[in-house]
Amino acid sequence: MMNNDQLYYNSLIDLGHHPEHALHYTRMYYPNFYPIVNQQNPTSNINYYVPLVQEKKKSRTLLIVFGVVVFALVVVAMLIIAVTAVVILDSSDNTPEFGFRHDVSHDLFEDLGDNIAPYDSTDYPDFSSVVYIEGVNPDGEVYSGSGVIIGERWVLTAAHVVEGLVVSETNVWFGNDYQSAAAKYSVSSYYIHPGWPYADKYSSSEVDEILEEGTDIALIELEESITISEDISIAVWNNDTELISGEILLGSYVYVSGYGDYNEGNSMCTNYCLTDIDGTYSKRRAWQNTLDRVVLDIDSSINFDGHHKWKGGWVVYDFDSPSSDNNGLAKGQSFSFAQGDYSYGGKGDSNPEPTTLEGTSVAGDSGGPTFALIQGKWQVIGLTSHGSEAANYGDVAFNTAVSVHTDWICSHDSTQEIPGC
């Protein structure tokens, strides 16, 4: 017999919902649900539950009828729940809208990411330091993500972006569209933080636990120095935790950028998928948010050289809706059906009001920078790590705090090529 989670999922499919929508809604009530896509749907064949044994037919007839009635009531109840959930979740502020607020044109997020007027002043970060990373693992599978240039031969990104990639098959693209890149550079090597939970060394539960420690960071070394141009710049990164600790930056605007995957079929964008002229979405985007949490100096549970001084950390924000009623980091709130427990993001409160270009990270944005204005300069304070794959209003985005990793970053810069080391 099917479990309630599969019944609920099937009922949504029967209502005509896209499988990604159905999966998202089901996981709001059953977070660990995975659909059995080839299983026969009981709503279309009620005999699925009729016992095959034919003995005691007279007494069993009543049981069968009773069972059918009970099942019908269960199905009706599930359908009512499904319809109710759909009505609630399909309101203007609650549909799985994926990454950017509904009431703002998606073009503005592209303009911001490309520093097109009016986003070309010092009131905004220079996003030409944001790069696209793509590589191949030993099985020939292609993986991609984002990163940020911090030196002529150095790029910061998330550990999970480059983990397992073949160095000789990994490249970095520069420009606002990686399919028409301004430049492409080969990777000489990459260095993953020793506190990162390699998937081949730990169980899934251990990986989840260690992931909360804020060590999702890697450093890429390019084969040759980049050529600075209007399409390529070097970002200033925050190397001093004192400048972001406590409540110094809380409530201030931050800007985040990356090459998020908005292609239909490759992501959960559903009704909000995007496309380019060539049919594949490959643009660099940027969005605005409000910094809600800063968590620094997290001890690692992994014993490695330097673990006593190389701490982890997070900078965190949530995705507020235009109606201001999806405040994922409101005081006392640290759990959602979409994300589970995110209490490791620290305590505090959050302003429910969205920014003008409010957004959040999606798949493909991993490793991209979070900028904050510090002492008159836009500095990289975080790298996109993880959040809810649905990227809905109320979801919380975790970004690896860069400053806590200053010593680790600079330990690889023997020739002092990285400004800030």
Reported as a single tens digit per residue, the pLDDT across 296-316 is 999 999 888 888 889 999 999
pLDDT at res. 64: 33
CB burial of residue 230 (10 Å; 0-12, 13-18, 19+): exposed
326 in Cβ contact with 283 (< 8 Å): no
51 in Cβ contact with 64 (< 8 Å): yes
What is the DSSP code (8-state) at residue 241? Answer: G
8 in Cβ contact with 29 (< 8 Å): yes
Give the residue from 290, 288, 308, 292 showing the smallest Cα distance to 300.
Answer: 308
What gap in Å lies between CA 156 and CA 382, rounded to an integer? 10
pLDDT at res. 54: 26
Q: What is the pTM of this model?
A: 0.79
What gap in Å lies between CA 149 and CA 174, rounded to an integer? 10
Strand, coil or helix: 106: helix
pLDDT at res. 201: 87
Q: What is each CA distance from 329 to 65, 93, 212, 288, 350, in whole angstroms?
A: 49, 17, 17, 16, 5
What is the per-residue DSSP string for 165-203?
A: --GGG-EEEESSBGGG-SEEEEEEEEEE-TTS--TTTS-
pLDDT at res. 338: 78
All domains of the chain in start order, with CATH = 4-89 (no CATH), 106-410 (2.40.10.120)
Reported as a single tens digit per residue, the pLDDT across 236-254 is 999 999 999 999 999 999 9
What is the DSSP code (8-state) at residue 346? Answer: -
Give the residue from 266, 324, 264 showing the smallest Cα distance to 290.
Answer: 324
H or E segment to which residue 386 belongs:
strand 377-386
Q: Which amino acid is present at 202?
A: Y
**CB-side neighbour CA atoms (13 Å) of 393:** 24
pLDDT at res. 274: 92
Cis-peptide, bond into residue 118, ω within 30° of zero: yes
Residues with Cβ within 8 Å of 124's Cβ and at least 6 positions away in sequence, in order, are 112, 115, 255, 378
Q: Which residues of the chain have pLDDT under 50?
A: 37-71, 74, 80-95
170 in Cβ contact with 136 (< 8 Å): yes
**Count of residues for the chain?**
421
User: N- to C-terminal Cα distance for the chain?
Assistant: 61
H or E segment to which residue 1 belongs:
none
Q: What is each CA distance from 71 to 13, 45, 49, 77, 125, in whole angstroms?
A: 18, 12, 9, 10, 58
367 in Cβ contact with 384 (< 8 Å): yes
What gap in Å lies between CA 68 and CA 285, rounded to an integer? 53
pLDDT at res. 23: 67
Q: What is each CA distance from 7 to 86, 107, 201, 295, in whole angstroms?
A: 16, 39, 36, 40
Q: Which residues make beta-bridge pairs with 186? A: 171
Cis-peptide, bond into residue 194, ω within 30° of zero: no
What gap in Å lies between CA 276 and CA 263, rounded to an integer? 9
What gap in Å lies between CA 92 and CA 272, rounded to an integer? 13
pLDDT at res. 87: 38
| Antiparallel, parallel or unpaired: β 285-290 and 218-222 | unpaired
pLDDT at res. 294: 97
